[in-house]
Structures are given as C-alpha cells and as structure tokens.
C-alpha cells in the first residue's frame, strides 16, 4: 500500500496526488480508502491530516489536507469564498463546439430506486460556473482544461455533458453507455493544479503529474 505522493507541504497543510480509484471515505462495502494513509501522512505531527475538500473516487490529482483545526477552518472559508484556484484536465468523449467558453448551468440532485442518485442541470438548482478551453484533440476526443468557479458535486461531469454536449470519457453514470466504462477504465478527470492565497504566508501552489492513462490516449502533458 503505497502512500500517495506529496506535492506540497508546510506546517499547516499537505497537498497529495490522489490516485484514481482511491475513495476519500471508506466505502460502505469496505475496502481501501484514503483513511488507510492518514497515519503515514502525519509525518511526525500529532494529528493526522484532514481532507479539506472532496474528489470523486475516479478523479486523480491535487487533494488538499489540513494539519490542524485552525488551518481546516481557514481553508474551508477560502473554498466558500471562491478564493481557491482549481485547474482540472478532462478527456471529452467527443468534440465540443468552439475552442473555449464558460458554462453556467445550475445543478440539482435527483434520485430513484432504480438508478440511485445523480446530478442534473436544473434551473432551480444551485448555481454552478465552469470555464473551459480545448487543449488538444485526438481520434474524436478532446483534452479539455476546466476551471470551476464553484464546487458542486459532479459539476465538471455534468457541465461536460449538458454544456459541451459530450460526457467525460469513461464516466459510468453520465457517459454514453450508462453503467459501462465506454472506452476507459475510469472517468477521465484529473485535478491538475491547486492554488490558495494565504494572508501573511506564501500561497499554497501544487501541480500534479500528468496521468499515464491520459498519455496512453495520445495526449501530451500541456505543461511539459
């Protein structure tokens, strides 16, 4: 059980490169989760670090952890105040219209006994804003840079489908073939970079390595 790579570290925070497939919280059915790594991530501190935000199980990349309650409170406030810079990379299962833009689609949660719960674009939902631009195209698929202003559940996944007209490759819930991976072993979404300003301290800046499964599709690291 390899401890996730540390991308940024100081006295109040860690940013780790969360592997795809690793859930933040222990699944109800049991199994491996981030909780198994928190003891190793203490790194000499008394308390284990605490995740400040959430990434879907399939999503890889930058995950912010707070090392004490005061830091957790400040970082939570930064997320609420939309001060956190977030850059995601996603592989779209199709090609969007245009090269860049902003998606403003409110999101709401629905559930049913047959399909469980999911998010949908709905006028009466919570406001959600995502900026996007095409970085590259390959074999009818597009590498997209997403910059979400808000942090709604499944925001990028729904905005890709409803705003760009195509789902993320491999999305088992919102993909072209529901319940199947449709060409990828996971939802192709990666938290590539994270930045947080801090009063009286240098900002938190972290960048996660370009995922191997993105490269295997023929896409190159946009910053490499």
Q: Is-contact 57 21, C-beta < 8 A?
A: yes
Half-sphere exposure of 175 (CA within 13 A, CB side): 22
> Which one from 17, 36, 56, 81 is the annotated catalytic residue?
56
Whole-angstrom CA distances from 77 to 7, 25, 84, 196 are 22, 22, 10, 11
Taking the CA atoms of 26, 56, 180 and 217 in sequence, report the sign of the dihedral they define: negative
Residue 171 annotated as catalytic = no
Residues tagged active-site: 56
């Amino acid at each position: 059980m390899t401890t996730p790579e540390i991308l940024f570290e100081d006295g109040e925070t860690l940013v780790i490169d969360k592997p795809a497939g690793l859930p933040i919280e222990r699944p109800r059915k049991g199994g491996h989760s981030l909780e198994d790594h928190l003891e190793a991530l203490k790194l000499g501190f008394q308390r284990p670090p605490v995740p400040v935000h959430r990434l879907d199980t399939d999503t890889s990349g930058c995950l912010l952890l707070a090392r004490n309650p005061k830091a957790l409170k400040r970082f939570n406030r930064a997320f609420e105040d939309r001060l956190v810079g977030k850059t995601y990379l996603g592989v779209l299962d199709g090609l969007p219209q245009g090269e860049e833009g902003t998606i403003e689609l409110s999101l709401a949660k629905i559930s049913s006994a047959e399909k469980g719960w999911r998010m949908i674009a709905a006028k009466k939902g919570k406001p959600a804003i995502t900026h996007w631009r095409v970085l590259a195209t390959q074999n009818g698929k597009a590498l997209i840079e997403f910059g979400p202003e808000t942090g709604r559940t499944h925001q990028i996944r729904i905005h890709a489908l409803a705003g760009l007209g195509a789902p993320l490759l491999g999305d088992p819930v919102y993909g072209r073939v529901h319940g199947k991976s449709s060409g990828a072993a996971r939802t192709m979404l990666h938290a590539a970079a994270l930045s947080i300003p801090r009063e009286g301290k240098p900002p938190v800046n972290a960048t996660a390595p370009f995922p191997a499964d993105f490269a295997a599709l023929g896409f190159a690291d946009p910053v490499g």
